[in-house]
């Protein structure tokens, strides 16, 4: 199965172009109970195990104000995922789908995202529920959940633009 790096019937792997530096800076490390891909949940649950986000200096100050949100979007780098499969067979039946139509960790840029429930923030540690990644996963970013966040800055003209679907 793909989670152990084999290719299923109908799946397609491609040669990747040379990597370029996107300028990502990992802001910390995620601590979860899962050390094995086969034990890791496919989707996080808001009532799942409490996990820790260990924020590195100098980013601890960026946590100010985050405690006012019940839910936080967590973005992380799935550093142990393969990146070369463009067609995948998640049901293992030979039927394939494009990587961009799946939430699979196997993708050209293995960025994971999870909507999590904020448990608490103590110093440089943020505790959340709802993750679906391995212990030691690099943390990219944190954002208030978009459905409860209201921009604090004054509106801009584009904020009111609408158009055809």
User: Which element (helix H / strand E) includes 128?
Assistant: strand 125-129
- Tens digit of pLDDT for each residue in 94-129? 889 999 999 989 999 999 999 999 999 999 999 999
d(CA 20, CA 60): 28
Handedness of CA 133, 56, 143, 156 (dihedral sign): negative
From the number of C-beta atoms within 10 Å of its C-beta (0-12, 13-18, 19+), residue 41 rates as middle
Structure tokens given for 121: 């923030």
- Tens digit of pLDDT for each residue in 121-138? 999 999 999 999 999 999
pLDDT below 50 — which residues of the chain? 1-2
For residue 112, which phi and psi values (nearest 5 degrees)?
A: -100, 150
Is residue 78 a contact partner of residue 139, using CB atoms and an 8 Å limit?
Answer: no
Is residue 138 a contact partner of residue 77, using CB atoms and an 8 Å limit?
Answer: yes
Is residue 59 a contact partner of residue 76, using CB atoms and an 8 Å limit?
Answer: no
pTM of the model: 0.87
Please report the pLDDT score of residue 2 as a whole number.
Answer: 44
Written in H, E and C, the secondary structure of 47-61 is CCCEEEEEECCCCHH
For residue 159, which phi and psi values (nearest 5 degrees)?
A: -60, -25
């Amino acid at each position: 199965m793909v989670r152990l790096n084999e290719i299923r019937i109908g799946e397609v792997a491609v040669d990747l172009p040379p990597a370029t530096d996107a300028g990502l800076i990992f802001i910390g490390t995620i601590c979860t109970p899962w050390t094995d891909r086969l034990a890791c949940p496919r989707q996080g649950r808001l009532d799942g195990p409490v996990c820790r986000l260990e924020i590195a200096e100098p980013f601890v100050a960026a946590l100010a104000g985050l405690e006012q949100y019940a839910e936080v979007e967590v973005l992380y780098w799935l550093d142990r995922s393969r990146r070369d499969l463009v067609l995948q067979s998640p049901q293992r039946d030979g039927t394939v789908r494009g990587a961009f139509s799946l939430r699979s960790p196997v993708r050209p840029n293995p960025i994971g995202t999870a909507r999590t429930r904020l448990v608490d923030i103590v110093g440089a540690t943020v505790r959340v529920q709802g993750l679906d990644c391995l212990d030691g996963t690099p943390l990219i970013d944190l954002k208030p959940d978009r459905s409860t966040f209201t921009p604090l800055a004054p509106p801009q003209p584009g904020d009111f633009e609408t158009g055809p679907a």
